[in-house]
Structure formats: structure tokens, C-alpha cells
Amino acid sequence: MALSDQEILSGLGDIIEEIAGVPAADVTPEKSFVDDLDIDSLSMVEIAVAAQDQFGVEIPDDELKNLKTVKDVVVYVQGKGVSA
């Protein structure tokens, strides 16, 4: 069964809290990683690696640079048709 957007968002919030120290509650879909959450490119790589471990979806560097907001990542992960 595929994960819901809410499940991906919640998992992403926990990852971002652990890696970047941003409270998970602040990780909402419209937030920009760079402008709103103050997350730089190296932290984005770490988040991508952790997301791969958790959701089983690889986010290569070429794709990662196009993911600007939290929602972009949720849609990307969802689009790869993950199963829980």
C-alpha cells in the first residue's frame, strides 16, 4: 500500500529535525528549504540519503537540485510509487 502524503510529510519532518535541527512541526508543505528552513545543499544531500533509507526512493543529485520546497519532495517520493 502506498504511503499517504501525510505519512511522507511526517517522516520527512522527523528526518529534517534530526539532521538540520528544525522542529518537525515547522516542516509544512509550502516551506522552501533554503529560504524558510535555512537548509543548505549539504544538508539536502543528507536529507536525501535519509529519505532513501526511510522511503526506499533514491533522489539523485541531479533531481535533488530541483526540489525547492517540502511539497516538492513529498510529490517526488509519492510519484515513485512507494509501498509501506
Partner 1 sequence: MTSFQLRTGSPGARILAFGHYQPSNVVTNDDLAKTVETNDAWIQSRVGIKQRRLAGPDETVVDMAVQAGGKALANSGLSPADIDLVIVATCTQEATIPNASAQVADRLGIVAPGAYDVNAACAGFCYALSSASDAIRGGSARNVLVVGSEKLSQWVDWTDRSTCIIFADGAGAAVLGPSEETAIGPVVWGSAGDMASKIFVKDRNSFLFQEGQSVFRWTTTHLHAVAKEACERAGITPADLSAFVPHQANLRIIEAIARKLKAENAVVADDIVEAGNTSAASIPLALSRMIERGAVPSGTPALLIGFGAGMTYAAQVVEIP
Report the interface residues with partner 1, using CB under 8 A.
Answer: 18-19, 40-42, 45-46, 48-49, 61
Judge whether 40 counts as a catalytic residue. Answer: yes
Query: Which residue among the candidates 40, 53, 61, 62 is catalytic per the annotation?
Result: 40
Smallest separation, CB 52 to partner 1 (Å): 8
Instruction: Using the minimum distance from each CB to partner 1, give the nearer residue, 64 or 75.
Output: 64
By the 8 A CB rule, do 47 and 15 touch? yes
By the 8 A CB rule, do 18 and 38 touch? no
* Residue 83, φ and ψ in degrees, nearest 5: -115, 145
Show which residues are catalytic: 40
